[in-house]
Structure 1
Amino acid sequence: MWNNVRQMNLVSSALHAIFVLALLGAAGVYAIQRPEFRLQQIQIDGDTQHINTPTVRASVVGHLKGNFFTVDLDTARAAFEQMPWVHHASVRRVWPNALAVTLEEYKPFGTWGNDQLVSVDGDLFTANQGELDDDLPAFDGPDGTAKEVVARYHDFETWFAPLDAKPEEVTLSSRFAWTVKLSNGTQIELGRERNQDTLHERSARFVASWPAVTGRWGKEIEYADLRYPNGFAIRAAGMRFINDTDKAKK
Structure 2
Amino acid sequence: MNELQVLPEPARGPQLWWGMVFLLVVLVGMGYAAYRLNVWLDDEQQLPVRDIKVSGELKYLVKQDVENAIRKNQPGSFFELDIERALLDIEALPWVYRASIRKDWPNNLHVHVVEQQVVANWNDDMLLNSQGGTFNAAQPEGLVLPKLYGPQGSEQTALQGFRAMQALLARSGVSVSELVLTERFAWNLRLDNGLGLNLGRDEFIDRLQRFVDIYPLLKKDERRAEYVDLRYDTGLAVGWQKTTAEISKG
TM-score tier after normalising by the smaller chain length: 0.7 to 0.9
Q: Which AA in structure 2 matches 1:186?
A: L
Contact 2:60-2:140 within 8 A present in 1 as well: no
Contact 1:185-1:221 within 8 A present in 2 as well: no
Once the two structures are superposed, what CA deviation does each residue of 1:95-147 show, in whole Å capped at 9, x if it has no partner?
3333222222112212112132212222212222134x442211121222222
Contact 2:187-2:198 within 8 A present in 1 as well: yes
Q: Is residue 201 from structure 1 mapped to residue 206 from structure 2 by the alignment?
A: yes
Once the two structures are superposed, what CA deviation does each residue of 1:68-90 show, in whole Å capped at 9, x if it has no partner?
11211111111112223121221
Greater shift, 47-56 or 106-115, is seen at: 47-56
Cα distance in 2 for residues equivalent to 1:45 and 1:126: 23
- Stretches of structure 2 lacking an aligned partner (at least 5 in a row): 1-10, 244-250
Contact 2:66-2:90 within 8 A present in 1 as well: yes
User: CA shift at 1:184, angstroms?
Assistant: 2.3
Once the two structures are superposed, what CA deviation does each residue of 1:200-244 show, in whole Å capped at 9, x if it has no partner?
2211223223344455x44632111111222222111239xxxxx
Cα distance in 2 for residues equivalent to 1:60 and 1:128: 22
Alignment equivalent of 1:64, drawn from 63, 66, 74:
74
Q: Is residue 238 from structure 1 mapped to residue 235 from structure 2 by the alignment?
A: no
Radius of gyration: which is bigger?
2
Q: Give the 3 Å change call, closer, same or farther, for CA 219–150 of structure 1 in structure 2.
A: farther
User: CA shift at 1:57, angstroms?
Assistant: 2.4
1:107-126 correspondence to structure 2 within 5 Å: 107-126=117-136
Contact 1:109-1:136 within 8 A present in 2 as well: yes
Secondary structure of the residue that 2:206 maps to in structure 1?
helix
Normalized against structure 2, the TM-score is what?
0.76
Once the two structures are superposed, what CA deviation does each residue of 1:47-70 show, in whole Å capped at 9, x if it has no partner?
222122234423442122462112
RMSD: 3.2
Alignment equivalent of 1:161, drawn from 149, 165, 170:
170
Contact 1:36-1:96 within 8 A present in 2 as well: no
Q: Give the 3 Å change call, closer, same or farther, for CA 237–33 of structure 1 in structure 2.
A: closer
User: CA shift at 1:14, angstroms?
Assistant: 8.4
Partner of 1:141: 150
Contact 1:185-1:220 within 8 A present in 2 as well: no
Alignment equivalent of 1:26, drawn from 35, 42, 45:
35
- The count of corresponding residues between Structure 1 and Structure 2 is 230
Q: Is residue 185 from structure 1 mapped to residue 227 from structure 2 by the alignment?
A: no
Q: Is residue 176 from structure 1 mapped to residue 180 from structure 2 by the alignment?
A: no
Cα distance in 2 for residues equivalent to 1:14 and 1:228: 94
- The 4+ residue runs of structure 1 with deviation greater than 6 A are 10-17
Normalized against structure 1, the TM-score is what?
0.76
